[in-house]
Chains A and B, each alone.
Chain A
Amino acid sequence: MSIKVLIVDDAVFMRNMIKDIFTGDEFEVVGEAANGVEAIEKYKELQPDVVTMDIVMPLKSGIEAVKEIVTEFNDARIVMCSALGQDSLIMEAIEAGAKDFIVKPFKADKVIEIVKRIVAD
């Protein structure tokens, strides 16, 4: 089975870039969401193995989305995608239940490593 990934980011550019990391048979990008509200909807609908979640997004932040998703699905595996200088936000997200984080600029092998590890958990 390939790892089902949901990509959440308000920038199409970032979504594409992350999507390109998850090519190959090991992964399947099952959906994309552009804000926290969509992320929650898509999570319920698609039940992905892992979510890459941006933090700062319109309508609902990534942190809020993590909180809501984890409340309903306590085994949700969410990796926060963040920029440097957002330590307190990442920390908040991890406390809310995010499993790990990646920092822009993303290194493809690192992202894959992190995702695989948290899925194997």
Chain B
Amino acid sequence: MDMSKYKGMFISETKEHLQSMNKLIISLEKDPQNQENIEALFREAHSVKGMAASMGYNDISELSHKMEDMMDLFRKGTIKLDSSAVDLLFEGLDNLELMLKGIENDEPADIDYSSLISRMQDVQNVTKSDVPIERPEKTPQPEVVETRVAEPQIKKPSQSEGIKLTVDVKIDPSSQIPGMRGFLVYKNLSNISEIMSISPDIESVKQGDFDNAISFQISTDQSIVQVEAMLKKMVDLAGFSVHKFDESVAQVVEEDSKSQVRKEASPTRSGPPKKAQQVRTVRVTTDLLDNLINIVGEMIIARSRLFEVGKEISSDPLHEGMVEMSNLIRDLHGQVMSVRMTPIESLMERLPRVVRDLARKGGKEVELAIDGKDIELDRAILDEMGDPLVHILRNCVDHGIETIEDRKAAGKNPVGLIKIRAMREKDQVYINIQDDGRGMDVEKIKRKAVARGIVKKEKFHLISDKEALMLVCHSGLSTAEKVTDVSGRGVGMDAVKSVVDSIGGSLHIDSTPNAGTIITLKLPLTVAIVHVLLVNVNDEILAIPINKIIRTAEVEKGDLKRSQKQMAVLIDNELIPLLSLKRILKMKGKDVLTQQIPVVVVEMKNKKIGLVVDSFVEQQEAFVKPLEAPLSWVKGFSGATILGDGSVIFVLDMPNLL
């Protein structure tokens, strides 16, 4: 079978299983008696094992099998689920994740998990010798089997009226479980006969402890031909013979399973098979979702074009039709977006584990509270946010939360608290990560920034606290941190910020000494189709994403204030520095200040800035396409979109404009 087409599905489904295993182990650590969770955990490991075996991923299959075995013993209460057992399970899970990642990246992970397996085995061995009675399920008592088997025998004749036959069978040694095949022969024979003797004994057959040959002596009212017919229907028999008990010459019938199948398999029906399944959910690849959104994006562009052309034609039916189509496209867009939406829970699932591990390593106690798991975000955004969130949490635990002693000394609860809260506000999602640790030392950050040459010494006193906090996102400060081994990769806050920026979000830091730090991530709900404000600069139309705009204003020339070379204006009681978009983009021509100056107030580098433009054009939904090289090298643009009249306009890359 060609397995490659199953690979994607295997990866995504196994990921889900591993995530829920993770959740279950964490909850079991807190409540080891929860039988329901133990059962669920057992089943999860079992599913992973089966799927991996089907794909031929033997390492995953073997390791999850071992974990399944352990969980089987938890189920029966044979092993106590203590923290060392939990650690073993987590270690197993980590290895499984790595193996899966290897498969995903087509770089098979070369992981030596033999020591882990043997440690898991140790746990099981100890238990087995301690509590030998706990294993009835593995080896059923022979008597029990015999009576159970005997029950459904309907056709079984009494010994006196039947003929006595010797049945020799040879199990195909290449069959997957020869012992089980042997048992199946035994079972089928016992349905039509009374088995008088069997060699080797049935227990040895079941255990696979035989040389693939079994000899039965049976008493039956069936003819030799009938018994042979029954055996012919069985798979994995290399051969068999049936003869009267006292016959000396065996009549060996060589099995040819292939021809047998062909004979039986004459197609009796034409036409495609009916599909009669009730499908509640379907699994689709994310590629398909991306294609859908691309098509909707193209439709939005086409709609703009039609509207542009339609302006010149006065036809009521045309306009009505266009409005209707426009509404339909909007609905379609909404539906496609909602399909792409995924609860943020999938992102949060692994976090309790991260916090637990970090806290244990650092000798701290930390509780993680998560609120707003059901808030939904575009899958593409969620996919990006995994590593950044882990890094933020790592900072919270490593640097924010104090040791138990320090917390006690400061009069705090010895158990640190990290709260993650997701909220939705219009088309933005806020994720707050708040810890009640020691907070950040603004002065120390500033000094470090000066020492590293990130901030000029003379500017030291000009840096506001807010700006100072954001300095931790500067590559010169953040990557210098020691990389701990927990999250694996050394992403610093600069990487966090650049990921957030790249998906059109923003990051804010608030911190109070001794009270803790709050990091707020503001993320757009979706990607690709964004609301933009079109502005005119130097007869060039440019698009600014609406979610980056705080407000627009037309300021009077006379209200401008000037300090040194910097122009500024008071908007909403706040003095906002003005920058010319023309100059930022190094366009030709001088700024001619009209009486009314159009200003777009945006937030850049955590500062409010007024961008001076020539005029506002309009607001529009735009399908933003990424730029290809060499255009992608041009600083300041994040993509391009096409207007109704067919003109291509650039979308400003606000985070990297300055």
* Cβ–Cβ < 8 Å partners of A85 in chain B: 65
Contact string, B255-279, partner A, CB cutoff 8 A, digits 1/0?
A: 0010011001101111111101110
Q: Which of A31, A110, A117 has the most CB of B within 10 A?
A: A117
User: When chains A and B are docked, how far (Å) is the Cα of A2 from the Cα of B88?
Assistant: 49
Asked whether any CB of chain A lies closer than 8 Å to the CB of B46, the reply is yes
User: When chains A and B are docked, how far (Å) is the Cα of A84 from the Cα of B139?
Assistant: 16
* Cβ–Cβ < 8 Å partners of A116 in chain B: 261, 264-265
- B residues 14-73 near A (Cβ < 8 Å) are 14, 17, 39-40, 42-43, 46-47, 49-51, 53-56, 61, 65
* Cβ–Cβ < 8 Å partners of B270 in chain A: 25
Asked whether any CB of chain A lies closer than 8 Å to the CB of B179, the reply is yes
Q: Are A28 and B42 in contact (CB under 8 A)?
A: no
Q: Are B183 and A88 in contact (CB under 8 A)?
A: no
User: When chains A and B are docked, how far (Å) is the Cα of A2 from the Cα of B265?
Assistant: 10
Q: Are B149 and A90 in contact (CB under 8 A)?
A: no
* Cβ–Cβ < 8 Å partners of A58 in chain B: 39-40, 43
Knowing A11-B47, A91-B206 are in contact, say whether A32-B277 is a contact too (CB < 8 A).
yes
Knowing A1-B268, A94-B184, A103-B176 are in contact, say whether A10-B43 is a contact too (CB < 8 A).
yes
Q: Are B206 and A108 in contact (CB under 8 A)?
A: no
Which of A10, A83, A91, A108 makes the CB contact (< 8 A) with B53? A83
User: When chains A and B are docked, how far (Å) is the Cα of A13 from the Cα of B278?
Assistant: 17
Q: Are B6 and A110 in contact (CB under 8 A)?
A: no
Which of A29, A90, A94 makes the CB contact (< 8 A) with B277? A29
User: When chains A and B are docked, how far (Å) is the Cα of A114 from the Cα of B264?
Assistant: 12
Q: Are A87 and B177 in contact (CB under 8 A)?
A: yes
User: When chains A and B are docked, how far (Å) is the Cα of A57 from the Cα of B40?
Assistant: 9
- B residues 177-221 near A (Cβ < 8 Å) are 177, 179-180, 183-184, 187, 206, 208
Q: Which of A46, A57, A104, A108 has the most CB of B within 10 A?
A: A104
Q: Are A121 and B233 in contact (CB under 8 A)?
A: yes
| Nearest chain B residue, comparing its CB with the CB of A117 | B233
Which of A2, A16, A24 makes the CB contact (< 8 A) with B6? A16
| Nearest chain A residue, comparing its CB with the CB of B1 | A108
Q: Are A11 and B50 in contact (CB under 8 A)?
A: yes
Q: Which bucket holds chain B's interface residue count?
A: 35 or more
Q: Are A94 and B183 in contact (CB under 8 A)?
A: yes
Which of B39, B53, B235, B260 makes the CB contact (< 8 A) with A100? B235
Asked whether any CB of chain A lies closer than 8 Å to the CB of B283, the reply is yes
Which of A100, A106, A113 makes the CB contact (< 8 A) with B261? A113
Knowing A56-B42, A85-B65, A97-B152 are in contact, say whether A13-B51 is a contact too (CB < 8 A).
yes
Q: Are A28 and B274 in contact (CB under 8 A)?
A: yes
- Total A-B contacts with CB atoms under 8 angstroms apart: 137
| Nearest chain A residue, comparing its CB with the CB of B183 | A91
User: When chains A and B are docked, how far (Å) is the Cα of A28 from the Cα of B56?
Assistant: 27
* Cβ–Cβ < 8 Å partners of B137 in chain A: 88
Knowing A25-B273, A95-B145 are in contact, say whether A87-B235 is a contact too (CB < 8 A).
no
Q: Chain B's nearest CB lies how many Å from the CB of A77?
A: 12
Interface majority SS on A: helix, strand, loop or mixed? mixed
Contact string, A1-32, partner B, CB cutoff 8 A, digits 1/0?
A: 11000000011111011001100111111111
Asked whether any CB of chain A lies closer than 8 Å to the CB of B10, the reply is yes
User: When chains A and B are docked, how far (Å) is the Cα of A21 from the Cα of B54?
Assistant: 13
Asked whether any CB of chain A lies closer than 8 Å to the CB of B140, the reply is yes
| Nearest chain B residue, comparing its CB with the CB of A83 | B50
* Cβ–Cβ < 8 Å partners of A90 in chain B: 177, 180
Q: Are B13 and A83 in contact (CB under 8 A)?
A: no
| Nearest chain A residue, comparing its CB with the CB of B17 | A11
* Cβ–Cβ < 8 Å partners of B283 in chain A: 12
Q: Are B267 and A26 in contact (CB under 8 A)?
A: yes
| Nearest chain B residue, comparing its CB with the CB of A120 | B264
Q: Chain B's nearest CB lies how many Å from the CB of A37?
A: 14
* Cβ–Cβ < 8 Å partners of A88 in chain B: 137-140
* Cβ–Cβ < 8 Å partners of A95 in chain B: 145, 148-149, 187
Knowing A10-B43, A13-B13, A31-B277 are in contact, say whether A106-B54 is a contact too (CB < 8 A).
yes
Q: Chain A's nearest CB lies how many Å from the CB of B399?
A: 41
* Cβ–Cβ < 8 Å partners of A54 in chain B: 50
Asked whether any CB of chain B lies closer than 8 Å to the CB of A44, the reply is no
Q: Chain A's nearest CB lies how many Å from the CB of B12?
A: 8
Q: Are B9 and A16 in contact (CB under 8 A)?
A: yes
| Nearest chain B residue, comparing its CB with the CB of A57 | B43
Q: Are B269 and A2 in contact (CB under 8 A)?
A: yes
* Cβ–Cβ < 8 Å partners of B145 in chain A: 91, 95
Known interface pairs A11-B13, A32-B277, A91-B206; 8 further A-B residue pairs with C-beta atoms within 8 A, sorted by A's residue number: A25-B267, A27-B273, A56-B47, A84-B177, A97-B152, A108-B1, A110-B235, A117-B260
Q: Can you list 26 A-B pairs, Cβ within 8 angstroms, ordered by A?
A: A1-B268, A10-B47, A11-B51, A16-B6, A25-B267, A25-B271, A25-B273, A26-B265, A27-B273, A29-B277, A31-B277, A46-B276, A83-B50, A84-B53, A84-B176, A87-B180, A88-B137, A88-B139, A91-B140, A91-B180, A97-B152, A105-B53, A105-B56, A106-B1, A116-B261, A121-B233
- B residues near A (Cβ < 8 Å) are 1, 6, 9-10, 13-14, 17, 39-40, 42-43, 46-47, 49-51, 53-56, 61, 65, 137-140, 145, 148-149, 152, 176-177, 179-180, 183-184, 187, 206, 208, 233-235, 257, 260-261, 264-265, 267-274, 276-278, 283
